[in-house]
Amino acid sequence: MLHLSYIHVAGLLVSGLLSQAAPAQTAATAANTSANNTVTESAPRPILTPQERGDIQMARKMYREAIETYRQAPETAVLMNKIGIAYHQLSDFGNAQKAYERAAKLDPKYTEAINNLGTIYYSKQSYRRAIAQYKKVLRMKPDSASTLANLGSAYFARKQYELASENYQKALAIDPNVFESRSGTGSVVRDRTVGDRPTFFYYLAKSYAKAGMTEQAVNYIRKAIEEGFKERQKFTVEPEFAGLQKDPEFIKIMALEPKVL
């Protein structure tokens, strides 16, 4: 499910797409002033580098073209991570993994690529290996909300719900919007694919409630119930939800009849 700038691929936060490049600059002007008039001349537009052109193609979702364009630039960890993201967007996990591994080899401390390699293992349901990658990132960058969220999702997939919730809460403490952000470009992949959606929403609601984020907690309670969460009493008896009991929206949701599936 899992803050530079982020791109969501199969639910995970993938790192490393955001470029240093700005959009094409407006033409420069030169002024030549005489006593009676001013002449302004436009300079030629700058030539974009392959990396800049690739970033534009990525923004336009032209992933195959972006890969070809990126490969025209000198190989760097950042560039290989971007190529990995492009393959990831195409669901070509094999080539995405190779690109992330190459990025991590070029720069062993490049946490974005290590995180993204973890998301590949997650996609392959190799959750132990995903957890190992996320922990490796957190040893170098303990305040990475996206990686903490990814780690929580990997624990969730292994049904280690308390560990999942613990890491979700840590992620929220660093970035309250980590589960809400849906940017289309970025450098970190976060996984949002979960098998048991009602339980997932329940634990997210619990994490938000514990963080004192009432609106988000109520929103995920609603989602959990809509998805068929059967243990509704937990929302009224568990201590994390005590502060919601008088919230009008919460009361309205609790009064709804359970859906018959």
Domain, as residue range, for 223 = 196-261
Q: Are residues 153 and 60 in the same domain?
A: yes
Q: Which of the four pLDDT bands, split at 50, 70 and 90, describes residue 19? A: very low
Q: Are residues 111 and 8 in the same domain?
A: yes
Q: Which residues contact 94 (CB under 8 A, 6 or more apart)?
A: none
pLDDT at 235 over 50: yes
Summary mean pLDDT of the chain = 84
The pTM assigned to this predicted structure is 0.80
> Does residue 57 or residue 15 have the better pLDDT?
57
pLDDT at 79 over 50: yes
Tokens, residue 241: 């939800």
Q: Are residues 80 and 110 in the same domain?
A: yes
Among residues 175, 193, 211, the one where a domain terminates is 193
Asked if the structure places residue 39 within a domain, the reply is no
Handedness of CA 239, 240, 241, 243 (dihedral sign): positive
Q: Which of the four pLDDT bands, split at 50, 70 and 90, describes residue 212? A: very high
Percentage above 70 pLDDT, the chain: 77
Phi, psi of 195 (to 5 degrees): -80, -40
Q: Which residues contact 151 (CB under 8 A, 6 or more apart)?
A: 2, 131, 134, 135, 138, 167
Map tokens 């994390």 to a residue. Answer: 240
Percentage above 90 pLDDT, the chain: 70
Q: How many CB atoms lie within 10 A of CB 201?
A: 21
β-bridge partners, 39: 32
Report the pLDDT value the prediction gives residue 183, as an integer from 0 to 100. Answer: 45
Collapse the DSSP code of 40 into the 3-class scheme (helix H, G, I; strand E, B; otherwise coil) and give the result.
strand
Tens digit of each residue's pLDDT (9 = 90 or more) over 126-153 = 999 999 999 999 999 999 999 999 999 9
Q: Are residues 125 and 69 in the same domain?
A: yes
Asked if the structure places residue 61 within a domain, the reply is yes
Q: Are residues 70 and 189 in the same domain?
A: yes
Tokens, residue 238: 């568990």
